[in-house]
Amino acid sequence: MNAPLTHLQQLEAEAIHIFREVAATFSRPVMLYSVGKDSSVLMHLAMKAFYPAKPPFPFLHVDTTWKFREMIAFRDRMAKERGFDLIVHINQDGVRDGINPFDHGSNTHTHIMKTVALRQALDKHGFDAAFGGARRDEEKSRAKERIFSFRNASHAWDPKNQRPEMWKIYNTRVAKGESIRVFPLSNWTELDIWQYILQENIPIVPLYFAKERPVVERDGMLIMKDDERMKLKAGEQIENRMVRFRTLGCYPLTGAIDSSAATLEAIVGEMLTASTSERQGRLIDRDEAGSMEKKKREGYF
């Protein structure tokens, strides 16, 4: 008898199947590329799914202009090395209005520079399917979402009325203006992601590895001063600490953790013994239990 697939092989095959299904049935798909580790895995799987061809869709990065500089450098390097078609979208209205996480708070900043920006980009290019790297183990409302998640013409998610999703038979039909968000990593856990990165040697942004970095303690989080736009408040001090990041986003909203894990093995080792979830380092999820669902209903990924 032939050996059954391992856990990771099953997850990999499922993701590849999903990529191909979208490429075969939608007229204008796009992959949301957020530069983090999940995006790195997603990109790796997309390359595999269509090998020896390149993925038959562009990659879209919604740049809030507050991402870590190392993320942007990594993004541009990957686009060049892997040869994918990269679209960078910035909400110019938000730039004009000077929207930033320090003065406007995480909610307003995220809504305008991320959610609204994403809707602008999807509308501008007329994308009818968008891949995202969300996983069901990340958060309660994500645990409820379909792999092929329907969005109406104003990009809204209706969690109370999702299409049934039977077997691997995906309903990929949408009317004009409607779209589908597709999550190939739905059934992956954080451990699976790291395990796969290790197994496949997938490049990730160096910020995931521990290094001495200039950080400030603010609201119980370690915020890295990534550029001059971050002004210190009274009593705050910059200190150089060995830190790394479990997730990446806008630098003023992303907390670092004290760590000496400088290799993939060490990161996984640290993760295996962690007692808090990865989203704990994200300011935007903290407000209240339903905050992710609210953002998603408005079109956030």
Residues of span 214-253 touching other proteins by CB under 8 A: none
Single out the residue of 136, 155, 181, 244 in contact with other proteins (rule: CB under 8 A).
Answer: 136
Q: Which stretch binds other proteins (CB under 8 A): 35-43, 85-93, 234-242, 276-284?
A: 276-284
Residue 160 interacting with other proteins (CB under 8 A)? yes
DSSP line for 9-78: HHHHHHHHHHHHHHHHH-SSEEEE---SHHHHHHHHHHHHHHTTSPPSS-EEEE--S-B-HHHHHHHHHH
Question: Which residue's entry shows tokens 């408040």?
Answer: 233
Binding mask 93-112 for other proteins (x = CB under 8 A): --------------------
Instruction: Decide: is 275 part of the binding site for other proteins (CB under 8 A).
Output: yes
The answer to the question of residue 169 lying near other proteins (CB under 8 A) is yes
Exactly one of 38, 63, 128, 137 binds other proteins (CB under 8 A); that residue is 137
Residue 173 is a binding residue for other proteins (CB under 8 A): yes
Angle at 191 (CA atoms; ends 84, 110), nearest 5 degrees: 60
Distances (CA, A) of 6 to 38, 167, 184, 196, 197: 20, 20, 18, 12, 16
Residue 127 one-letter amino acid? F
Phi, psi for 278 (deg, rounded to 5): -70, -30
Nearer to other proteins, 52 or 235 (CB): 52
Phi-psi region of 35 (alpha: psi -120 to 50; beta: other; left: phi over 0): left
Nearer to other proteins, 108 or 277 (CB): 277
- Residue 52 makes contact with other proteins by CB under 8 A: yes
Binding to other proteins, residues 8-37 (CB under 8 A):
8-10, 12-14, 16-17, 20-21, 23-24
Question: Measured from the CB atom, is 198 or 216 closer to other proteins?
Answer: 198
